[in-house]
Amino acid sequence: MLIPCLACDSKFRPDEFFEACSDYNRGMDLVSWTCPCCGNRDDLRVLPGELGFGYPSRGRFDVLDRVRVPGLRRQRGELRLDISLDRSSWHVPSRLRQPV
C-alpha cells in the first residue's frame, strides 16, 4: 500500500505519509500535509478506508480525489486527530486558531 503525492507522483509508505501530517483543522475536518519530496502543501481529509483530497471553497471542503487505504481508521479528539492503520497509529495535533 503506497500513497501518492498528487503534485509530484512520489509514493509513500503509510508511516512516511502520515508522519508528514502537521495540523488538524477540526472545524473543517482536515489535516495539512507537506510532501517530504517536493514540499507541496496539501489539505486532506482522513476517512474510514480512504483519504480525500480536494480544495476548500466557500467555507467547505470539496473532496475531488479519493485514495483508497484499506483498514484506515480515524478518531476525532478535542485537540487532535488519531489515525490508525494496521498496528500503527499517528496523532495529528490541532493548532489553536483563535487565541482568546
| Binders of Zn ion in range 6-65 (CB under 5 A) | 7-8, 10, 35, 37-38, 40
Q: Does 5 bind Zn ion (CB under 5 A)?
A: yes
Measured from the CB atom, the residue of 37 and 67 that comes closer to Zn ion is 37
Measured from the CB atom, the residue of 11 and 76 that comes closer to Zn ion is 11
Element (H, E) at 16: helix 14-19
Measured from the CB atom, the residue of 16 and 23 that comes closer to Zn ion is 16
Q: Which long-range contacts (CB under 8 A, 24 or more apart) does 89-97 make?
A: 90/15, 90/18, 90/19, 90/21, 92/18, 92/21, 92/22, 92/23, 92/24, 92/31, 93/23, 93/24, 94/23, 94/24, 94/25, 94/26, 95/23, 95/24, 95/25, 97/25, 97/27
Measured from the CB atom, the residue of 53 and 73 that comes closer to Zn ion is 53
Min dist CB 98 to Zn ion, Å, is 31
Min dist CB 12 to Zn ion, Å, is 9
The residues that touch Zn ion, with contacts defined as CB under 5 A, are 5, 7-8, 10, 35, 37-38, 40
